[in-house]
Amino acid sequence: MYPPQAQYSRLPTDPENTGASTPSRTASAIHRFRSSLRAFAIVRVVVILLVVALAWRFISKSRRGPVKPAFAFDDEPRPTWLDTPPPGAPLRLRVAVISRANEFDRRSAIRDSIFRGVPPSDVKTDFKFFVGAPTGIVNWWSKVQSKVEREMTVYGDVVLLKDIDDIKERLSEKRFAALKWGGSVPRGTYDWFMTLDSDTFVRFSALARRLPTFIQNKNINPQNQSVLLGRMGGHLMYYENRVPDGNKDSRLEDLYLKGPWYSYPIGIGYMLSPFLVDTLLSMDPPPPHHIHYPNDDVMIGAWIAGLKLFQDKSIHFESTPDHPPKLVEKVVPKPYLPHPIDTEIIDDKEGWHNYAGRQDGYDASFSWSSVCIHHVSANQMRMFRAMDVIAGEWIPDKADERPKL
């Protein structure tokens, strides 16, 4: 006798379990089919996205044109200015390098590959690395601050800004601190104040020998004239000082204004005349310098443009919807100084550029005229320094005589 139907369960070997599909088997098959369709759809979407990305990359490269060669020394003869020492006294530079606290190897490369061995008959440099206070668990665990303090003791060329966190949002404050250091000595004791990013390679001897030829027709007097030299981009954002120094909230920014287009030095670096440094540091309140990355370079151009244009009440300035107060309205900015300052802006496209291959419009091959090359790694700096074609621009020394951490 069979048990009641409700108690009967088919076994896998039961003849009744073979043959026609049951409703549960049909539902399971449908579920598997739908799952395979979903998986196929996901794969299809991924493939389409990859094809689109590859097509866009190909189109972008075709629009940009061929990648520039890394070096171009063989494309032109060695220039005569490179064999002509600077006229009169050597070029006197105060150089501020904007660096992250944990960039120990990069700072070592900059010391050894850029500053070490610069001929004092060509250039006299007084340089400092500006770093912020390390933050975060990783920096705490790796004892970055104690290593920086040790580096300060050994080399004496690092300025640790303990009141400024070492984060991108406060990079502009590091730039302003560097400016204050640059102008902390009498104007007549230096020829230019220079700021560099920590991924910029500089040929200081070539810079000093090329500069007189490059500006010979411009009637430039850095001691008594406002001058900005570097590689320029364009922008239309201006700023008014609204955030007090000592503020601990990195989210706060100075007031953003939209106005006429102006030139600003892109991230390679820039040179300011002593007159311009003194002018900026004479402002009360100080220039707006609570500006978030990546506008820390734009900020420099905005200061210089504002020195002239904020005096003109006929120029239209307005607030922007992307920054507080989050609405567009006309703004009449307060002049930075009682009188306008006109600045000579020198855009050196051949001398200051990004390393070849970035294809961003600012890249170029390393040539005789290249005095400041941006987006360079620490190892590339060491390689550049060792190249025979430019090695003679530095005085060789004994590596074992240099201090080490």
pLDDT for residue 21 is more than 90: no
- The pLDDT mean for the chain works out to 87
Burial class of residue 185 (count of CB atoms within 10 Å of its CB; 0-12, 13-18, 19+): middle
| pLDDT tens-digit readout, 178-223 | 999 999 999 999 999 999 999 999 999 999 999 999 998 888 999 9
CA 96 and chain centroid, separation: 14
Residue pair 226/279 in contact (Cβ under 8 Å)? The answer is: yes
Residues whose CB is less than 8 angstroms from the CB of residue 249 and which lie 6 or more positions away in sequence, other chains included? none
Task: Look up residue 139 and give its two tokens.
Answer: 């920096």
Nearest to 195 by CA among 324, 97, 77, 320: 97
CA–CA distance, 124 with 88 (Å, rounded to integer): 13
% of the chain residues with pLDDT over 70: 83
Nearest to 282 by CA among 220, 339, 240: 339
pLDDT for residue 118 is more than 60: yes
Give the strand pairing for 123-133 and 158-165.
parallel
Residue pair 72/365 in contact (Cβ under 8 Å)? The answer is: yes
Confidence at residue 50, expressed as pLDDT on a 0 to 100 scale:
75
Phi then psi for residue 188, to 5 deg, are: -75, -5
If pLDDT is split at 50, 70 and 90, which confidence band does 36 have?
low
Dihedral-angle region of residue 130 (phi above 0 means left; psi in -120 to 50 means alpha; beta otherwise): beta
| pLDDT tens-digit readout, 53-71 | 666 555 444 444 557 789 9
pLDDT for residue 6 is more than 50: no
Confidence at residue 55, expressed as pLDDT on a 0 to 100 scale:
61
Confidence at residue 164, expressed as pLDDT on a 0 to 100 scale:
94
Burial 379-391 (b: 16+ CB within 10 A, else e): ebbeebbeeeebe
Confidence at residue 113, expressed as pLDDT on a 0 to 100 scale:
97
| pLDDT tens-digit readout, 220-248 | 999 999 999 999 999 999 999 999 888 88
Confidence at residue 399, expressed as pLDDT on a 0 to 100 scale:
56
CA–CA distance, 119 with 108 (Å, rounded to integer): 19
If pLDDT is split at 50, 70 and 90, which confidence band does 13 have?
very low
| Residue where the block lists tokens 């170029």 | 364
Confidence at residue 22, expressed as pLDDT on a 0 to 100 scale:
55
Confidence at residue 7, expressed as pLDDT on a 0 to 100 scale:
45
If pLDDT is split at 50, 70 and 90, which confidence band does 23 have?
low
Question: What letter represents residue 267's amino acid?
Answer: G
Burial class of residue 141 (count of CB atoms within 10 Å of its CB; 0-12, 13-18, 19+): exposed
Confidence at residue 227, expressed as pLDDT on a 0 to 100 scale:
98
Confidence at residue 49, expressed as pLDDT on a 0 to 100 scale:
75
If pLDDT is split at 50, 70 and 90, which confidence band does 30 have?
low
Task: Look up residue 24 and give its two tokens.
Answer: 């549960």
What is the pTM assigned to this prediction? Answer: 0.82
| pLDDT tens-digit readout, 68-105 | 789 999 999 999 999 999 988 899 999 999 999 999 99
Which residue has better confidence, 13 or 273? Answer: 273
| pLDDT tens-digit readout, 317-328 | 999 988 888 889
pLDDT for residue 279 is more than 80: yes
pLDDT for residue 17 is more than 50: no
Residue pair 93/190 in contact (Cβ under 8 Å)? The answer is: yes
% of the chain residues with pLDDT over 90: 70
| pLDDT tens-digit readout, 129-181 | 999 999 988 788 889 999 999 999 999 999 999 999 999 999 999 999 999 99
Confidence at residue 25, expressed as pLDDT on a 0 to 100 scale:
61
Mean pLDDT of 374-380: 96
Confidence at residue 247, expressed as pLDDT on a 0 to 100 scale:
84
Residue pair 213/178 in contact (Cβ under 8 Å)? The answer is: no
Confidence at residue 368, expressed as pLDDT on a 0 to 100 scale:
97
CA–CA distance, 362 with 367 (Å, rounded to integer): 14
pLDDT for residue 15 is more than 50: no
Mean pLDDT of 275-288: 97
